[in-house]
Structure 1
């Protein structure tokens, strides 16, 4: 039996592939061990993905993401949060789990890069605006001090 191009199997072929009997497949279906798919006419069939799942072989669609999570209860423990994150990354690396390995298409990478550049420049503009407002406040304070202190206001000839 050539199984390289078949995606759906009859119970007999699937049983032969797994090395069990058709009765065993029927029992597994009843017990929920290996559920069979059904055609509109209620006939059983199995898929290649079920074969891979039964054999314990993961497909690209089956690979699950492992998420690491760290938190602290107060802002004062922010340094502890960084330590927790580093510990979790080291732990995952020791277990062979890759952290932050995103697989993106070139277009998605380009979009993310452009968004991050826009974010950086918008933050810079906000920072400049804040700095500009602070300079204005400092100039106003300096003018008030100069007007209040007559000896230091000698450079301003318009008031005299």
Structure 2
């Protein structure tokens, strides 16, 4: 699998990005401001993630998505670890990520990749999304914020 930055002339993998974030308005906004990385396997898009600078020395991993037929094969983990390495190579000191309170699998993945919970944005998904989101039978209301220090990452 190869992971490369998406060039401006290349089509945005919008369908896949919308699987991780159902707001097309938000996806289009942060993909314009951030760097979109696309993973390809055997000529097909396997996954995607976006790095978005937020503050000096800090970047946020705002969208990680894996093609449905390839889930459960470790691609999400490869994408997250690639994002951490990219952020470190680009000179960031901190990488952050947010996930829904109902995103149990994603929360476990981020922690396995070295992220630690640092806060909660209460009612984030109620305030910023028009339609209710449910995952794992749980209403998605709050965004759990996680962070990782990049001091030792290369």
TM beyond 0.5: no
Q: TM-score, normalising length from structure 1?
A: 0.20
Q: Which structure exhibits the higher relative contact order, with contacts defined as CA atoms closer than 8 Å and separated by 6 or more residues?
A: 2
For the pair shown, the structure with the greater C-alpha radius of gyration is 1
Between Structure 1 and Structure 2, the one with more helix by share is 1
Between Structure 1 and Structure 2, the one with more strand by share is 2
